[in-house]
């Protein structure tokens, strides 16, 4: 499992202190900031995790739900975020963000499918755009009360002015929270509909909300004031969804055994990668099955015990010699243990078995370059060029491809590869300088036009951020 991470900062500003009254507006400014932040469903400033097996699982378990929602499988993206909270969200477009904590806390695939169904309800309902509209209405109320209160205070009615301000903020917040709860209820019902159309039981949905309810009890979150929440109370959701699910024809349907086995392996892999001590506790030596071997292989590898990690992965590959994800794991452990030559055979075989998995191809290309054997560079170039075509977000593949171009003496295309990478990472100034360097050395043609596109986009982003273009 490789980590490609980037940070996006939410726009924000400082409140200018212009008069003595400005200090009294702190609560108002805080409210407006909260309304703005809630409409974004802050996702970013997070580390994104990428893994071929995990992404393939997301696509397969979501496909019937995406179709039930009236969308096309393959057009909806699923992004895994390194965050141990039990959460998932959408932030615009057809992209669903899933926290690693949700995977680690789900007992079976049905619980994950239920959460995906709910989030697809937000996507299909265009809730992010509508949430922004709801926030705008609430903000308008806040600003109006601010102006009226300020006028009253300027006329000498200090207490009346402050009262008007605070009442306005309370009304605005209540309106916004009500709007948000309505959207959550709508997504709950839409998710139930999608599960039913897909022939999937809603048991996982109820189990998930009970998990949330237990978490609320554990952290002493009040259960008696639903009007001060962005989401309906879990007890309310369980109540109305129980009636929907128990009457549905799919209620007694079992979950797909193959998807369940794949889910458990991905869950074990994720726990082993992110929390090795837990993996060794939950999947101790003596558990001789695929799931336990997978968890321990990652845990030992992350803990820098290469011999133990290789022992676990050898057991996995011996039982499933044609599994590309296990061969990828073996190659990755060898590569990251300083044995790139030994990593080539399992990684080459993994690419042969899964030719449409660009993340596996990227690891293979990396291993070919890491051998420092120039006879492997032509193959690495071919593998990596295919990977960047197949995967629209693969900065590490572009980095490796840049190494090949540099070794070949093609500094202009090495600069273009760097421009692609920096562009993906949101490092616009570096992307601009690299794109300009590429344009200076590449003849007119597709590559030159691509460098020009990156330069133009980077300039636009820098100007939008108020930065000087040099």
The alpha carbons of the chain give a radius of gyration, in whole angstroms, of 26
Cα separation, 438 vs 420, in Å, equals: 11
3-state helix, strand, coil in the chain (%, to 5): 70, 5, 25
Q: What is the DSSP string of 341-372?
A: HHHHHHHHHHHHH-TT-HHHHHHHHHHHHHTT
Which 8-state DSSP code applies to residue 230? S
Please compute, for residue 162, the number of CA atoms within 13 A of its CA located in the half-sphere on the CB side: 10
Asked if residue 241 belongs to a domain, the reply is yes
Asked if residue 89 belongs to a domain, the reply is yes
Asked if residue 365 belongs to a domain, the reply is no
Asked if residue 443 belongs to a domain, the reply is no
Main-chain phi, psi angles of 282, to 5 degrees:
-80, -25
**What's the number of domains the chain is made of?**
1
The residue segments making up the domain with residue 212 are 2-9+18-246
Q: What distance, in Å, lies between the first and last C-alpha atoms of the chain?
A: 39
Q: What is the DSSP string of 307-328?
A: HHHHHHHHHHHHH-TT-HHHHH
Cα separation, 412 vs 448, in Å, equals: 10
Give the count of beta carbons closer than 10 Å to the beta carbon of residue 228: 10
Asked if residue 348 belongs to a domain, the reply is no
Report the pLDDT value the prediction gives residue 220, as an integer from 0 to 100. Answer: 57
Task: Name the strand (E) or helix (H) holding 157.
Answer: none
Cα separation, 415 vs 302, in Å, equals: 33
Strands laid side by side in the 77-81 sheet: 2-3, 48-50, 77-81, 95-99, 88-90
Task: Name the strand (E) or helix (H) holding 2.
Answer: strand 2-3
Global pTM reads: 0.79
Cα separation, 307 vs 311, in Å, equals: 6
Beta bridge partners of 89: 97
Beta bridge partners of 3: 49
Beta bridge partners of 349: none
Report the pLDDT value the prediction gives residue 128, as an integer from 0 to 100. Answer: 52
Asked if residue 63 belongs to a domain, the reply is yes
Cα separation, 211 vs 410, in Å, equals: 56
Beta strands in 45-109 (DSSP E): 48-50, 77-81, 88-90, 95-99
Asked if residue 211 belongs to a domain, the reply is yes
Report the pLDDT value the prediction gives residue 44, as an integer from 0 to 100. Answer: 45
Task: Name the strand (E) or helix (H) holding 3.
Answer: strand 2-3
- CB-CB contact of 420 with 386 (8 Å): no
List average pLDDT for each run of 10 residues in the chain, which is 470 residues long.
Answer: 35 33 41 44 66 96 96 92 91 88 96 95 68 44 44 50 47 44 79 95 92 71 48 75 91 96 98 97 96 98 96 97 98 97 98 97 98 96 97 95 96 98 96 97 96 97 89
Which 8-state DSSP code applies to residue 226? G
Asked if residue 53 belongs to a domain, the reply is yes
Cα separation, 42 vs 32, in Å, equals: 15
């Amino acid at each position: 499992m490789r980590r490609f991470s980037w940070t996006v900062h939410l726009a924000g500003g400082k409140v200018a202190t212009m008069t003595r009254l400005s200090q009294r507006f702190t609560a108002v400014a805080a409210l407006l900031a909260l309304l703005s932040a809630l409409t974004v469903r802050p996702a970013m400033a997070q580390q994104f995790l990428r893994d071929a097996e995990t992404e393939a699982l997301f696509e397969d378990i979501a496909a019937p739900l995406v179709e039930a929602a009236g969308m096309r499988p393959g057009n909806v993206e699923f992004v895994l975020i390194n965050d141990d909270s039990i959460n998932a969200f959408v932030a615009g477009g057809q992209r669903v963000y899933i926290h690693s904590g949700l995977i680690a806390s789900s007992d079976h695939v049905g619980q994950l499918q239920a959460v995906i169904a709910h989030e697809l309800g937000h996507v299909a309902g265009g809730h992010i755009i509508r949430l922004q509209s709801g926030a705008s209405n609430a903000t308008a109320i806040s600003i109006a009360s601010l102006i009226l209160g300020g006028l009253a205070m300027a006329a000498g009615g200090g207490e009346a002015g402050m009262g008007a301000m605070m009442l306005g903020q309370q009304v605005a917040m209540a309106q916004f929270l009500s709007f948000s709860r309505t959207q959550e209820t709508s997504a709950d019902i839409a998710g139930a509909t999608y599960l039913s159309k897909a022939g999937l039981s809603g048991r996982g949905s109820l189990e998930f909300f009970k998990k949330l309810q237990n978490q609320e009890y554990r952290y002493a979150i009040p259960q008696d004031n639903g009007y001060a929440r962005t989401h309906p109370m879990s007890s309310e959701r369980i109540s109305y969804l129980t009636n929907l699910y128990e009457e549905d024809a799919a209620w007694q349907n079992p979950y797909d055994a193959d998807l369940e086995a794949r889910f458990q392996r991905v869950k074990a892999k994720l726990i082993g990668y992110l929390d090795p001590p837990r993996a060794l506790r939950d999947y101790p030596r003596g558990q001789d099955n695929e799931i336990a071997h997978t968890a321990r292989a990652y845990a030992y590898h992350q803990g820098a015990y290469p011999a133990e990690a290789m022992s676990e992965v050898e057991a996995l590959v011996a039982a499933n010699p044609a599994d590309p994800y296990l061969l990828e794991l073996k190659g990755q452990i060898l590569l990251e243990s300083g044995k790139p030559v030994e990593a080539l055979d399992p990684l080459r075989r993994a690419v042969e078995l899964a030719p449409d998995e660009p993340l596996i191809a990227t690891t293979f290309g990396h291993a070919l370059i890491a051998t420092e054997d120039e006879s492997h560079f032509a193959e690495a170039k071919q593998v990596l060029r295919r990977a960047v075509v197949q995967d629209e977000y693969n900065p590490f593949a572009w980095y490796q491809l840049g190494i090949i171009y540099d070794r070949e003496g093609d500094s202009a295309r090495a600069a273009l590869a760097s421009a692609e990478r920096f562009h993906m990472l949101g490092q616009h100034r570096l992307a601009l300088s690299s794109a300009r360097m590429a344009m200076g050395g590449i003849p007119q043609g597709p590559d030159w036009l691509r460098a020009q596109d990156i330069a133009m986009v980077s300039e636009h982003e820098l100007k939008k951020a108020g930065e000087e273009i040099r």
